[in-house]
Amino acid sequence: MTLRFPETFLFGTATASLQIEGGDSNNTWYEWSQAGHIKDGTHSIRACDHWQRIDADFRLHEELNSHTYRMGLEWSRIEPQEGVFSEEALNVYRREIEGLVQRRIVPLVTLYHFSLPLWFARMGGWNHPQSALYFWRFVQRVVGHLGDLVQDWITLNEPNIYLTMGYLRGEWPPGLKNATAPMFDAARRLVEAHVLAYRAIHLQRPDARVGVAHHLRIFDPTGGPLSALSAYLHERIFQDMFLQAMTRGRFIAPLGRGYPLGKEKFADFIGVNYYTRDMVRGKWGGGPLHGVLLVKKGAPVNDLGWEIYPRGLSRIITRLWKRYRLPIWITENGICDARDEVRPAYIASHLREVHRCIQAGIPVERYYHWTLLDNFEWIEGESARFGLYHNDFETQTRTLRESGRFFAQIARTRSLEVPS
């Protein structure tokens, strides 16, 4: 059976600047690597050396028949010191975007993806009272330089993951553990940063499409009322409070109440980063999120132990459409699979769920596979391989995987062959 996607549907891949560029020592993840926090002992300074290989890496998109590419900008390169902007860095990004446009590849540009300039982090990062205004100034400068080439923007990537890993677990910068008050303070600053950026981008380019890449997952209770309550709290605090605030401007507890930033629309699409589901077993204690997160017994998992649960993608898409009535872009979806044994089936099963939603009349418009090539995967370092291209970090040789060939065929034909 052939599943056909609309001619307007765009296939592409996603990357983050810190994870592929290399060579930048002016950001929080450089210091985090220097301090020895990366599990496999590797370092963000190497990554994929993309900063020096931009022209050569255009072929990767061409070989995949990509219609679009989600790329990131590194704030620490563009504003290396507070209030000092690098025309050189902006011009490098401009040259990359021009190369995409010349190849008829639509750029989707992410303005913030976890790493911060050191000057910003040292003044308190997202806990600084004026942090949103600093970000607003950065966004204004970037859009002024690149906005004639870029219509589609992501302001923030996965604020919930950044806060969970950096303020509750202490595994990412700023390295705080169970710091719930600073976490919710930073959450409010991030919402404000998105709202200011949304307005700033539209002021310079009224036809822009702007959204957030939200990390969304399924929280299913294992059984019983306590587990059901815990699953509800996880869904509300981990994701719903961000969705409400960053699409409608509505603050819900524990983030706040009402519409402190205005009762407006603050998203032109909803970006969905989907990977897995958690089974939630109720348990009192453990801060604002009660309960224990488990992997369903006997479920298939990726190399990092995350459950492979394709049905969750369509469950999330359907829920978002019912609540928000906004176009949906799958801004990340992929699997850590070093041997490339599961990735083709993973892609097919998740795209089948996307197609099911399109057939139901939901405007799912894009699919970005995570990721283009193996990269520096945060605290996992170089060991967690998500790429359609295998990357030899010693030689920086990119080799197309079988899953990459499979994806290229799907993108070329906008169709997917599945068993009847």
**How many Å apart are CA 243 and CA 248, to the nearest integer?**
8
- Taking only the tens place, the pLDDT of each residue in 219-258 is 999 999 999 999 999 999 999 999 999 999 999 999 999 9
Q: Is residue 247 part of a domain?
A: no
- The DSSP output letter for 295 is P
Residue 352's Cα: distance from chain center in Å? 21
The pairing of strands 389-392 and 364-370 is unpaired
**How many Å apart are CA 243 and CA 320, to the nearest integer?**
9
Contact 251, 192 (CB under 8 A): no
Mapping DSSP onto H, E and C, the string for 185-244 reads HHHHHHHHHHHHHHHHHHHHCCCCEEEEEEECCEEEECCCHHHHHHHHHHHHHHHHHHHH
* The predicted structure's pLDDT at residue 285: 64
Q: Is residue 350 part of a domain?
A: yes
- Considering its fold, how many domains does the chain have in total? 1
Q: Is residue 249 part of a domain?
A: no
How many C-beta atoms surround the C-beta of residue 290 within 10 A?
Answer: 18
Instruction: State the distance between the two ends of the chain, measured CA to CA, in whole angstroms.
Output: 5
**How many Å apart are CA 280 and CA 282, to the nearest integer?**
6
Q: Is residue 250 part of a domain?
A: no
* The predicted structure's pLDDT at residue 17: 98
- Taking only the tens place, the pLDDT of each residue in 349-389 is 999 999 999 999 999 999 999 999 999 999 999 999 999 99
Contacts of 369 (CB under 8 A, 6+ apart): 11, 12, 13, 14, 333, 334, 347, 388, 407
**How many Å apart are CA 212 and CA 159, to the nearest integer?**
9
Q: Is residue 337 part of a domain?
A: yes
Q: Is residue 246 part of a domain?
A: no
Low-confidence ranges of the chain (pLDDT < 50): none
Which pair of tokens denotes residue 312? 């969750």
Q: Is residue 324 part of a domain?
A: yes
Q: What is the CATH number of the domain that holds 172?
A: 3.20.20.80
**How many Å apart are CA 303 and CA 402, to the nearest integer?**
18
Sign of CA dihedral 125, 126, 131, 132: positive
Contact 67, 408 (CB under 8 A): no
Contacts of 241 (CB under 8 A, 6+ apart): 187, 251, 252, 253, 254, 255
**How many Å apart are CA 71 and CA 118, to the nearest integer?**
22
Which pair of tokens denotes residue 24? 């930048």
Contacts of 344 (CB under 8 A, 6+ apart): 402, 403, 406
**How many Å apart are CA 13 and CA 398, to the nearest integer?**
15
Phi, psi of 7 (to 5 degrees): -65, -25
Instruction: Find the angle CA(186)-CA(188)-CA(194) to the nearest 5 degrees.
Output: 100
Q: Is residue 334 part of a domain?
A: yes
Which pair of tokens denotes residue 164? 């969970």
Let me know how long the chain is: 420
Full domain range(s) for residue 324:
2-239+265-417
